């Protein structure tokens, strides 16, 4: 199915055409979408938005550094999502409570930093979607699989591991930063990428990401706000 996909901020003119599976229209979408998050810009500087929070259970895999994962979580908070982070390195995620601020002298309930063990999650809804971040290394346990509408589970992979293939293949959307040659070859095997796409993964700049989905391949450049720079530092790859 050939579908036109309009970039955020483009109100007129012809949008670029992509061959996109209908199920993926919720994964990369205009900024007017209920769960839309502006993640970066295209090659011509146009804003690009991902629909990270939607009315169907959603899986997103991030392959790269902690910077990208924290930025996605902060932007989900900015559009009203609950964020639960399950991690073995809680200190690295304390920027989220800082970004959320205090309410009546207490930490915001919108952000929870937890250990890598099953816990009861807030019940998501359209008005209060839920983003669960699993930061469990290159072979994460599926502690919080998305089971309901308006729940999105993000799997943070510092690098691609052969045993992460099942997690990667089950994702609705994958965001990948630059990979070394061996990792790019593994990515090509997992997603059956042609040689030119495999090579592109090895040449991405520190602030570049590829959005990958079923019949979707979209390079983009990360954009950081002034407040995000204060909390996260400059855009970069790695932890």
Domain presence at residue 127: yes
- Mean of the pLDDT values across residues 14-21? 35
Q: Which residue has the higher pLDDT, 20 or 150?
A: 150
pTM to 2 decimals? 0.83
Torsion sign over Cα 36, 70, 204, 172: negative
Residues 147, 198: Cα–Cα separation, whole Å: 32
Q: Are 94 and 113 in contact (CB under 8 A)?
A: yes
Lowest mean pLDDT among 28-37, 87-96, 115-124, 139-148: 28-37
Average pLDDT, the chain: 82
Helix axes 181-191, 195-203, angle to 10 degrees: 140
Domain presence at residue 237: no
Lowest mean pLDDT among 24-28, 44-48, 64-68, 125-129: 24-28
Range of the domain at 128: 2-231
Domain presence at residue 55: yes
* Whole-number Cα distances in Å, 168 to 66, 69, 102, 117, 138: 17, 16, 36, 21, 11
Residues 14, 197: Cα–Cα separation, whole Å: 26
Domain presence at residue 148: yes
- Total domain count, the chain: 1
Residues 26, 78: Cα–Cα separation, whole Å: 19
**Domain containing residue 73: CATH number:** 3.40.50.300
61: tokens are 């895999």
Domain presence at residue 236: no
Domain presence at residue 136: yes
Q: Which residues contact 20 (CB under 8 A, 6 or more apart)?
A: 1, 3, 5, 28, 213, 215, 216
Residue spans of alpha helices (H) in 87-174: 95-100, 165-169
Question: Does the pLDDT of residue 187 top 50, yes or no?
Answer: yes
Confidence of residue 211 (pLDDT cuts 50, 70, 90): very high
91-118 pLDDT tens trace: 999 999 988 876 555 556 689 999 999 8
What pLDDT sits at residue 105? 55
Domain presence at residue 164: yes
- Helix H or strand E segment including 147: none
Confidence of residue 156 (pLDDT cuts 50, 70, 90): very high
3-state secondary structure of 59: strand
Domain presence at residue 103: yes
Question: Does the pLDDT of residue 5 top 70, yes or no?
Answer: no
- Mean of the pLDDT values across residues 151-174? 93
């Amino acid at each position: 199915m050939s579908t036109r996909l309009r970039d955020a901020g483009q109100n007129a003119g012809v949008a670029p055409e992509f061959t996109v599976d209908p199920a993926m229209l919720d994964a990369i979408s205009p900024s007017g979408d209920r769960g839309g998050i502006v993640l970066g810009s295209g090659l011509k500087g146009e804003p690009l938005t991902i629909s990270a929070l939607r009315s169907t259970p959603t899986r997103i895999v991030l392959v790269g550094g902690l910077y990208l994962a924290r930025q996605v979580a902060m932007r989900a908070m900015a559009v009203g999502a609950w964020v639960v982070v399950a991690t073995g390195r809680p200190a690295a995620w304390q920027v989220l409570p800082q970004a959320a601020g205090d309410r009546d002298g207490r930490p915001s309930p919108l952000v929870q930093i937890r250990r890598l063990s099953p816990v009861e999650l807030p019940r998501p809804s359209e008005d209060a979607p839920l983003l669960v971040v699993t930061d469990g290394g290159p072979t994460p346990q599926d502690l919080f699989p998305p089971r309901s509408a308006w729940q999105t589970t993000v799997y943070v992979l510092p690098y691609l591991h052969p045993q992460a293939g099942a997690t990667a293949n089950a994702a609705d959307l994958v965001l990948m930063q630059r990979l070394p040659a061996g990792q790019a070859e593994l990515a090509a095997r997992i997603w059956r990428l042609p040689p030119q796409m495999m090579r592109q993964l090895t040449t991405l700049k520190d602030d570049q990401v590829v959005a990958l989905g079923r019949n979707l391949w979209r390079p983009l450049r990360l954009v950081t706000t002034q407040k995000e720079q204060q909390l996260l530092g400059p855009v970069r790859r790695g932890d």
